[in-house]
Structure 1
Amino acid sequence: MKRAVFLDRDGVINEVLTDRVKFVNKPKDFYFLPKVPEAIKTLNQHFDYVFVVTNQGGIGLGFMKETDLQKIHAYMIKELKKKGAVIHEVVYCPHKPKSGCACRKPNSKLIEDLGKKYNVDLAQSYMVGDTDTDIIAGKRAGTKGVFLGEQEPLADAVFSDLLSAAQWIIQDAIA
């Protein structure tokens, strides 16, 4: 079976709620967080897949269209590829918060579906996020959880940025 790293998008890969951008509704609003391409490239060298799993309630709330989101993701993938980093697939929940759907994190459907599609051993995989809902979704799917931020008691590890998290994930996967 294969191994994967599942990444949340906003707050893990790109800026959100910063001085420069509040929400990412168009490609021009998309700014990588520091060292993200390097982190993803490093993960690509040690894992079969790197996926993005993101809640995008702005669609359900009417702040953007699905075609806009697809343009944002195409831009992200293209810019990462220029730096030698690969995202194998991006999946998202377009529903409003509290809509009760099965795909919105903290539910684990998006992760589990990718696991089945790509024959991923979820117990040998990792979910990286910046909210407890990301960590809960990963745990429900059977992955280890890595939190970006100050603290998260449910996480297996906590780091301030994706590159530090990636280095720990690689060491943990070897152990």
Structure 2
Amino acid sequence: MTQNPKETVIGRITSVFGVKGWLKVFSFTDPIEGILDYTDWVLDLDGKRIPVKLEEGRRQGRAIVVRLKGINDRELARTYCGAEVRVPTTELPVLPEGEFYWLQLQGLDVFTVDGECFGRVDHLIETGSNDVLVVHATTGSIDQRERLIPYLPDKVVREVDLAGRKMIVDWDPEF
């Protein structure tokens, strides 16, 4: 299923947990327990949208385990494995000025401070030290290279214009 701009993926159900219908979830939120702040989920499983309600959840080691309303046995829970967990973007907390969700940066056109077009942000990668923009070339790009640009506000990323759908970076076109 294609990404709905009014929803964002916050996790993925990976496996069953125990025999009472609990599920293990890989959380994309930071901190990972943040996924538990959302109670109305839409599961995207093989193109089917399944609205579910989070009953309870907790951290279990390095993972999150949850119980969804109406799922009380292991075999029923197993049918949800592999589903993406989505929530409406309107449910996301408002960020402080100058901070952005990855989903807001995806699709922005990327230009150098000199006005040369690198392409469009396809996605981001978390590296540990800083996030990295993966920029794919477009028809107006200076070349057809894919670029990996560190997401370092004020150092590399000079401006993010969400309304204008563009980003200005201080990055050498040869790199």
TM over 0.5: no
Q: Which protein shows a greater Rg?
A: 2
Higher RCO structure, 1 or 2 (CA under 8 Å, sep 6+): 1
More strand by share: 2
TM-score by length of 2: 0.23
